Amino acid sequence: MSASAHYFVTDVECDGPDPAQNSMLSFATVVVREDGTLCGEFEAVLTPRADRAANARTMEWWASEPEAWKAATENPEPPEAVMPRFAGWVESFPGRRCFAAKPVAFDGAWIDAYLRAYADSFVVDMPVWGRSIFTATPLDIGSYLIGVLGRTDPFYRDLPVPAEWFGDHPHSHRAIDDARGYACVLARLLGLARRTPHRDDFFSRRADRGSHGLPQTLTKES
């Protein structure tokens, strides 16, 4: 029997929007097994990069969040020490490993930039590039929510789910709080997905391909 897959739900806090210009201040990851069990955490505060500068508008926002700023900057470690440790921790989990975030385009870009700079690895599962600590395509939790709940319209920024889905974890901009909240949401969505009838024929690599490369069974349905 194959090992269960694991989702690495991650939240980052930064001093600007751009990994090429600014620094990641802190991040946290909560592991969700595919059965919905939360089974691991990683948290780190990072020393800002000497070759980057803080974004002025972002720092104005941080000035309004003193508690979150303290959590994101207290007792930092060099990223060259943290990121290899993080990569090794991720690889200690068996089965398929999937990076997950909300939104994955933001948090994933930061973690990917720091993995490439300090751990010779990537977020994207492309072993042809080198070491891939994640072995599945990154998951955007908001997009997954749309699919699981059968929505067709995108939403603006905040997840439109009941507050209890976040497991009573505040969205405090403290990385570990936010990661725990999103991990609880993903666990809830995985539970809903498990109750949905499986259509493995959609995902079979050996399925006959119809139009647009989709299985013929899918193109026949409205």
Residue 173 CA to residue 66 CA, distance in Å, equals: 11
- Written as one string, the DSSP assignment of 62-112 is HHT-HHHHHHHHSS-B-HHHHHHHHHHHHHTS-S-EEEEETTHHHHHHHHH
Instruction: Name the pTM for this structure.
Output: 0.87
Q: What is the pLDDT of residue 202?
A: 60
Task: Give pLDDT tens digits along the chain (222 positions).
Answer: 578 999 999 999 999 999 999 999 999 999 999 999 999 999 999 999 999 999 999 999 999 999 999 999 999 999 999 999 999 999 999 999 999 999 999 999 999 999 999 999 999 877 777 788 999 999 999 999 988 988 887 776 677 778 888 888 878 889 999 999 999 999 999 999 988 776 666 655 544 444 444 444 444 444
Q: What is the pLDDT of residue 124?
A: 86
Q: Strand (E) positions, the chain?
A: 6-14, 24-33, 38-45, 97-101, 121-122, 131-132, 139-140
130 and 121 Cβ atoms separated by less than 8 Å: yes
Q: What is the pLDDT of residue 177?
A: 95
- Kind and range of the H or E element at 146? helix 141-149
Q: What is the pLDDT of residue 214?
A: 47
Q: What is the pLDDT of residue 219?
A: 44
- CATH T-level topology, domain 6-219: Nucleotidyltransferase; domain 5 (3.30.420)
